[in-house]
């Protein structure tokens, strides 16, 4: 059995970053910027007023000074003339500051009678002008790779980048296997359960930014599995669920081998998730997840997610471990890394007493996977441990 780290390395070696495509800004949220882009304009493109008021010459600003209002500048409509001595231009937020003016007195500090304004007594030093290029200059770059958040989308829009180069979404086919599985919403037979893993994994995988094709459930026969694998054609990554262990009905490995799987590894020293399998099947990478629901979801987070992040061109494709104190003592760990479902009690992590890999209620109410390395010695409350947030 190989270690989690070796498995992750072998998995990452199976895939490369995908090519890029251009999408409209409206479709770019949460996509990964594939190459650096440069602002195609300066923002603001002109010195702009940040307040509603009067544009004047700073040198003339003093208590009780009077100015003649000679025109108006509004957002989108500049004043074409120039502001001379004793003159003011009525100005609104976002309007270009007219030539000659270098100060905006806010309207609350003025009194207006006809064309004349008189300043009040307490005019501060603040000029209320946003300089041209104060936000960004033409040519300023946004560096790739970058997962585009709403604030990035706003910035790209302001830079007038309407078409955004993003990494193509990985196409992932999810293939659940087992005679015992029925789809959510169906009436399961007496010996059946609902296929939960495919739905949890699809949500996880789509959340990372891939496109998911949920294949029909393959039954525990070679022909059904082969047919399902055929339906996975065109996928960049095939994720199978179940049928990975050593039972008579665990057919994923032999059928995949028959279909040309170049196996990279089988079995990882971890709990849950031991019977993990990976390799290349034609043009696709394949990850065979164990069927137990918690095992499938934990392996999704520990292995599938980093693989997808690499395909998306992201640099930080390893899971980022965090640290917290333990809330209780733990016995020494054995020869497999243990990803324990745990909850925060105040700021300390407390693993659930029930760690069976079938318990979705425990996973769903957990805050973190507490990671116990291979042969980790016994720990006492307060010891600092590693965890992956859920």
Ligand X SMILES: Nc1nc2c(c(=O)[nH]1)N[C@H]1C(S)=C(S)[C@@H](COP(=O)(O)OP(=O)(O)OC[C@H]3O[C@@H](n4cnc5c(N)ncnc54)[C@H](O)[C@@H]3O)O[C@H]1N2
Which parts of this chain interact with ligand MOO (CB under 6 A)? Answer: 271-274, 290, 292, 295, 357
Q: Which of 44, 53, 178, 209 binds ligand X (CB under 6 A)?
A: 178
**146 in Cβ contact with 152 (< 8 Å):** yes
Q: CB under 8 Å to 361, separation ≥6 — which residues? A: none
169 binds, among ligand MOO, ligand X, none (CB under 5 to 8 A by kind): none
Q: Which of 44, 145, 290, 319 binds ligand X (CB under 6 A)?
A: 290
Pattern 89-108, ligand X, x by CB under 6 A? --------------------
Nearer to ligand X, 45 or 334 (CB): 334
Of all residues in the shown chain, the one whose CB is closest to ligand MOO is: 295
The CA radius of gyration of the chain, in Å to the nearest whole number, is: 31
Please report which helix (H) or strand (E) contains residue 63, including its range.
Answer: none
Q: How far apart are CA 27 and CA 167, in angstroms?
A: 12
Q: How far apart are CA 294 and CA 388, in angstroms?
A: 15
Phi, psi of 26 (to 5 degrees): -65, -20
Is 357 among the residues that bind ligand X (CB under 6 A)? yes
Nearer to ligand MOO, 98 or 273 (CB): 273
Q: How far apart are CA 290 and CA 275, in angstroms?
A: 6
Q: What is the footprint of ligand X within residues 209-238 (CB under 6 A)?
A: none
Smallest gap, in angstroms, from Cβ of residue 14 to ligand MOO?
A: 21
Give the DSSP per-residue string, 282-311: TTEEEEEE-SSHHHHHHHIIIIIHHHHHHH
Number of residues that bind ligand X (CB under 6 A): 26
Per-residue CA distances from 112 to 53, 57, 108 (Å) = 11, 18, 10
Q: Which of 48, 101, 195, 253 binds ligand X (CB under 6 A)?
A: 195
Nearer to ligand MOO, 93 or 355 (CB): 355
Q: Which of 107, 196, 224, 227 binds ligand X (CB under 6 A)?
A: 196
Nearer to ligand X, 16 or 222 (CB): 222
195 binds, among ligand MOO, ligand X, none (CB under 5 to 8 A by kind): ligand X
Of all residues in the shown chain, the one whose CB is closest to ligand X is: 291
Q: Among 189-197, 313-321, 326-334, 363-371, which window interacts with ligand X (CB under 6 A)? A: 189-197
Q: How far apart are CA 193 and CA 174, in angstroms?
A: 18
Q: What is the footprint of ligand X within residues 234-253 (CB under 6 A)?
A: 241-247, 250
Nearer to ligand X, 87 or 177 (CB): 177
Q: CB under 8 Å to 246, separation ≥6 — which residues? A: 275
Is 197 among the residues that bind ligand X (CB under 6 A)? yes
Helix, strand or coil for residue 340? strand
Per-residue CA distances from 283 to 63, 170, 222, 305 (Å) = 77, 13, 22, 19
Binding site for ligand X (CB under 6 A): 176, 178, 180-181, 193, 195-198, 241-247, 250, 272, 274-275, 290-293, 295, 357
């Amino acid at each position: 059995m190989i270690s989690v780290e070796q498995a992750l390395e072998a998995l990452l070696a199976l895939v490369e970053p995908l090519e890029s495509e251009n999408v409209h800004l409206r479709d770019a949220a949460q996509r990964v910027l594939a190459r650096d882009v440069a602002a195609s304009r300066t923002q603001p493109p002109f010195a702009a007023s940040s307040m509603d008021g009067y544009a004047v010459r700073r040198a003339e600003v003093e208590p009780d000074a009077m100015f003649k209002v000679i025109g108006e500048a509004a957002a989108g409509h500049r004043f074409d003339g120039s502001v001379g001595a004793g003159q003011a231009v009525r100005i609104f937020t976002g309007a270009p500051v007219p030539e000659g003016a270098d100060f905006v007195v806010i309207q609350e500090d003025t009194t207006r009678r006809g064309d004349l304004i008189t300043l009040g007594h307490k005019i501060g030093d603040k000029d209320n002008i946003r300089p041209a290029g104060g936000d960004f200059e033409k040519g300023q770059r946004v560096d790739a790779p970058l997962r585009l958040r709403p604030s990035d989308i706003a910035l790209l829009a302001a830079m007038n980048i309407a078409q955004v180069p993003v990494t193509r979404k990985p196409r992932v086919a999810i293939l659940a296997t087992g005679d015992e599985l029925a789809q959510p919403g169906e009436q399961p037979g007496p010996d059946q359960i609902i296929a939960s893993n495919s739905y949890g994994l699809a949500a996880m995988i789509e959340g990372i930014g891939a496109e998911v094709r949920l294949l029909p459930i393959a039954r525990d026969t070679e022909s059904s599995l082969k047919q399902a694998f055929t339906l996975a054609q065109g996928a960049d990554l095939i994720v199978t669920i179940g049928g990975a262990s050593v039972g008579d009905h665990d057919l994923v490995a032999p059928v995949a081998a028959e279909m040309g799987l170049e196996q990279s590894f089988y079995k990882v020293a971890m709990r849950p998730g031991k019977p993990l399998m990976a390799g290349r099947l034609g043009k696709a990478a394949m990850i065979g997840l164990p069927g137990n629901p918690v095992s499938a979801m934990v392996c999704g987070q520990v292995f599938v997610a980093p693989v997808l992040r690499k395909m998306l061109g992201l640099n930080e494709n390893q899971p980022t471990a965090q640290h917290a104190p333990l809330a209780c003592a733990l016995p020494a760990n054995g020869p497999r890394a243990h990803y324990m479902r745990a909850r925060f009690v105040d700021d300390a992590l407390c693993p659930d007493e029930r760690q069976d890999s079938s318990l979705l209620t425990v996973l769903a109410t957990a805050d973190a996977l507490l990671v116990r390395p291979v042969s980790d010695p016994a720990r006492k409350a307060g010891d600092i441990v590693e965890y992956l947030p859920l």
